[in-house]
Chains A and B, each alone.
Chain A
Amino acid sequence: MDFGAIFRALANFGSLEIWLYMAIGIVLGLIFGVIPGISGMLAIALLLPFIYTMVPLKAFIMMMTILATQYLGGAVSAILLNIPGTAGNSATVLDGFPMTQRGEGGRAIGAAQAAGALAHLITAIVSLFMVPVIIPLIITLRSADMVFVIVLGIVFIGALSGGSMVKGLMSGGLGLMVALIGFQASTAAARFTFGSLYLYDGIPLIPVMLGLFAIPEMVSLATTGGAIAKTQVVIKGWSDVWRGVKDVFRCKALVLRTQLIGFIVGIAPGAGATPAAFISYAHAKQTSKSPETFGKGNVEGVIAPESGNNACEAGDLLTTLALGIPGSPPMALLLGAITMLGLAPGPEMLTKHLDLSLTLLWAIGIAAVFGAIICLIAAPHLSKVAFIPGRVLVPLVLVLAFTGSFAYHKSIEDVLVMVIFGALGFLMKRFEFNRAGLLLGFVLGSIFEKYLFLALKTGGPFFFVRPISLGLIFFTIFVMAFGPVKELVQRRRKVSRA
């Protein structure tokens, strides 16, 4: 176990250029986090066409800092405006806004930022020390196991990220089908190209990402219409903010417990920050000496969800890097970026690109601390960003999406593909299909096929008769069956009671 690698990765932060990219990432993460209706995910999708030629380390640092700081920004609008900046901040509204109404907005902001920064820092350090322990386990995975790791990832995203499991699984399957379009590397067969030269190289990732995420979000924002936030914000003074920071250190045990909850939820693929925040909130309420004050402005009701959702990120990243299974939709996007920048998601990230992976974990912790400091200083000004009306934001983001998709290959066909996937994403959003599931299937499609053929070549048709593969198959079946079986049992109980 090479624990020295952890500290060698820290040396990457000696470069001024890295700090510049981190600063850009922090500012973008905070702004996209503060504005309700959009999130760090959209920032990454819009940024990708312009950063795909960059050195992977710099590009990933920028993306990671965006993801690490978006919840810190989102907490500001959740507390001061009663609108969660991102879905992960939804639970923060419950006690954050009542605190603002009571004149304790500053205290809530102080508590949220300190809890968020601590959660990122501690879980990033824990993850860093887990990496050398995980590597020997990851190396034991063979092609056959990786086939079922990918299947498990798609099932997890489909089953756990909200909505219907049938739709989630179908979305993943559709993504895999879309990934099959184009030249098959091993046989040189052109599948589903219908004679189009453009399709020979397969469908490019950036237009797919922009189409699936930017267009449906903007159409939905334009449909709801009007300014996002309406109330004005007042923060009394520094002493109030400082009181919130001290609250976090006063509730040490709660902070550590909710960080653990967030971290575990983050490691489990498919769940993400929103459930982590709500589970943490429920835990805080259950264990509190005064549960009746929750929902009326209890500072613990701010600390717990902000610890939970921010602690999720490092766990998410760890699973994404180690297994190539994203823990949440934003990580599915990051996984896409990994393939686009020429790296192979999965075990290689912890073997061949260990330095990069460890640097990203450091970046989460460091960015969150700086992001929280900026939020503490600039919260009242930052919250004004949420007042940007949808009628200004929507056309501008659409222009960025259209130019971004063109910039990737300088091809107008890419723009058409983006609009087609925009329509698909729009319909998927309308009918509650899982867009992250489709993206995951699309990103993992080619490596899934590669691993499958390797496994078939080396192990024959019974390649899955290996302890790890069989374990993964049983676990996949368990994940798929758990929800329907639980529902059936509950229904039978109800019937027998009646």
Chain B
Amino acid sequence: MQKNAESPAGNDVESTSPAAGAKQRKPSNDVFYKFFDELTATANKNISDKLNSVVTTLASNKGDIGDICDQLCLDYSFLYFIQNRKRAYPTDRLGIFCEKYANMSCHELALGVRKPVMLPKIQSSIARTLIRLDSLFDISKVIINKYAPLATKAAHGPSRTDLTLSRIRELANDLQLTPMRAQALYWGNADNISLLFQPSHKNSIVRRIEKRNNAFVKMTTAIMAAFLVDQPLDYLICEDYTRTCEIAYRGDNGEPIVITDPKIIRVISIYLALPEDKQCEMFADILLRDLQFSVAFSSIFQF
């Protein structure tokens, strides 16, 4: 890991080629690492290609390259390094690029696969409840009007390490396990953990993110984590993943249902931008309406 003096915020950057940095991890014979190294190389190539095409298009339209750099929070020299595949695109700024220029999700851009974010239990129950209630009353509008002014978090915030960890914790919460235990469960049979799947192993994602005090997670780690939790990259690196990626929830039979209603997407987006206590309040507000409605409905049928 190197510090690049030319990077705008002085953040950590990761290099993609051996020439770019003196300190490189030795190429590993480990099958596990090889697989993810190849995926990362592909992702970096795809992102760099897309960036090149965007820059070329803008240049041909006489757009100002300086404006693009400002919008992407990258300085020109750093942009040059990424274009020439000497540096990987920083994961904390990938969301802005995808939203503004690439018009696709980070996962699709990096790995070429379109995949919706499967909402965790709390968000999916909000979505499911609103879909049910909206057919009778326009609850979404009320919720949006009430909570939109309280949304304080930026859609693409500066630090991503905490975000990635909190997203893994969120999914572990759904399973009611500690994040380590959840990882062991995802990656193998947790009752008979082999060395590779043991959370104390060097490949442990949670420990890897916790121990390395980086400003944002490296692309390899982000991809490994995405495989770990079976979610697209957007879920782990974007504060508001509804802006870049499709969202879905599981239906009664377990099949994924993609949410297309813009109002519901807006509600989820607001939920993600709220502080934690307000998130709880919003959840309570929606569920209470639903509970009240179901109680009233069942009492009518009793009569």
Chains A and B belong together in one complex: no
